[in-house]
Every structure is written in C-alpha cells, then in structure tokens.
Amino acid sequence: MNVFHNKVRWRCIFMVVLAVFVSMPCRPVPAAVIDTETVVASVRGGQAREAIHQVFRRADVRASLAAQGLDSAEARSRIDALSDEEVIRVAEQFDTLPAGGASLLLVGAAILALTIVFYAVVLLAVEATE
C-alpha cells in the first residue's frame, strides 16, 4: 500500500507542476496577414537592389566613383540604405537617366542665362551709343 501511495504522490506532483507550467501567463504573439502588394514590393525591391549592385560592380563605374572620391563599399552601403520604393524607382529610371544626372538640364539653364545676360549687355551698349 505504501508503494501505491508513493506512485500516486509523484504523479500528483508531476500533474501540479504541469498544470502550473500550462497555466503560466505568456505574451501574445502578434500575427497579421501580409498583403500581396507588400510581398511583391519586397521581392521587386530585392531584385532592383541586386540590379543596381551589378551596375556598380562594373570596372568603369567603379573607376568613375573613385574619380569622384566615392569608394565602392560606400556606394554599396548607400544603396542598401535606400528603401524598397526608392530602389525600385532608381532601377526603373536607371537606363533612361543621363550619365551625368541632371547636368544636361543645368548646362541648358546656364546657356540660357548667359544668352539673356549677353543680350542685355548688347542692348545696354546699343542704348548707350544712341
């Protein structure tokens, strides 16, 4: 009879410990549904980031960056710091952008300003001689 009480006692202790562990409060785990657009944007962002990294791996691009004082590792870290939307936008415009960025627009604006100044000086010179 003593052996029976001993087995029952250990089983009761085990059940109490198990009940305590089961009934312990635990933090809720946040779970949410991820929409398709988020997943697609994430995948497109990764693909666009890899495409830009491939361009920056070219020797001529690295040489151009070095000429401007930018290390290729620094350029890589700057690309990685961009958000997915920014990387996608840059990758989509990468083939259509001019090599110097907006320098063509700046050159055109400078030529226009010089032309206006030149005609203003010529008009002032003509009025001064009359």
Question: Tens digit of pLDDT for each residue in 83-106?
Answer: 888 888 888 887 676 555 555 666
3-state secondary structure the chain: CHHHHHHHHHHHHHHHHHHHHHHCCCCCCCCCCCCHHHHHHHHHHHHHHHHHHHHHCCHHHHHHHHHCCCCHHHHHHHHHHCCHHHHHHHHHHCCCCCCCCCHHHHHHHHHHHHHHHHHHHHHHHHHHHC
CA atoms of 26 and 14, how far apart (whole Å): 21
State the pLDDT at residue 112. 81
Is pLDDT at 4 greater than 80 in this prediction? no
Q: Residue 42's pLDDT is what?
A: 81
- Statement: residue 1 has pLDDT above 60: no
Tell me the per-residue pLDDT of 25-65, one tens digit each, with 9 for 90 and over: 777 777 788 888 888 878 888 888 888 888 888 888 788 87
